[in-house]
Amino acid sequence: MKFVTTDSKVKCIRENAGQELHIAEFDIDVNQVAPHVAAVLSSAEINELEEWLAARDTLQTHLATRPNEKNIIGILPELMYQATQAVNELGYIDQQVRKDLLKRASELTAVLNGIRVVDEKRPAQINRVGKTETLKEKLDMLKKQL
């Protein structure tokens, strides 16, 4: 079972033999298993969803307590990866955008070379949400902070 967030919904998707089947969806602001969702999930899937919701709540709480700068830096590596993939997929880039990207990359490299590095801990339960969903939550939190 996997759970995917959209702008306003959480979709419950059952995976079976390489096939994905949309089972149910519910409002993204709901923090417990909705009755109409529980009616179509197995007890194991309900437990999985409850764990996912708890992990998502932990993630949201963690992100809300972090300064905006930490959320931006936390998102940046994945955004850079996605940008790299997009440029590769397109095979071209606007001249001004390329110039701006090279400038910002150079500035970031200079700052990274001169900055102190520390290891920060984050709640282990956050990993349960999944990398893509974590990124979505980080972006949503960043939008709210901006």
Domain that holds residue 81: 1-146
- What does the pLDDT read at residue 131? 65
Residues 49-73 pLDDT 10s: 998 888 888 877 777 777 777 778 8
- For residue range 122-135, what is the model confidence (pLDDT) as tens digits? 555 555 566 666 66
Per DSSP, helices labelled H in the chain are 35-38, 43-65, 68-90, 95-113, 131-145
Strand pairing report for 9-16 and 2-5: antiparallel
Q: What is the DSSP letter of 144?
A: H
Give residue-wise pLDDT tens across range 26-48.
Answer: 998 888 998 999 999 999 999 99
What are the pLDDT digits (tens) for 64-105?
A: 777 777 778 877 888 898 899 999 999 999 999 999 999 999
Look up tokens 């992990």; give the residue.
55
The domain tally of the chain equals 1
Hey, how many other C-beta atoms are within 10 angstroms of the C-beta on 86? 10
Q: Where are the beta strands (DSSP E) in the chain?
A: 2-5, 9-16, 19-27
| Amino acid at residue number 39 | A
State yes or no: pLDDT of 142 exceeds 70: no
pLDDT in tens, 10-25: 999 998 888 899 999 9
pTM over 0.85? The answer is: no
Measured between alpha carbons, how far is 5 from 66 in angstroms, rounded to an integer? 22
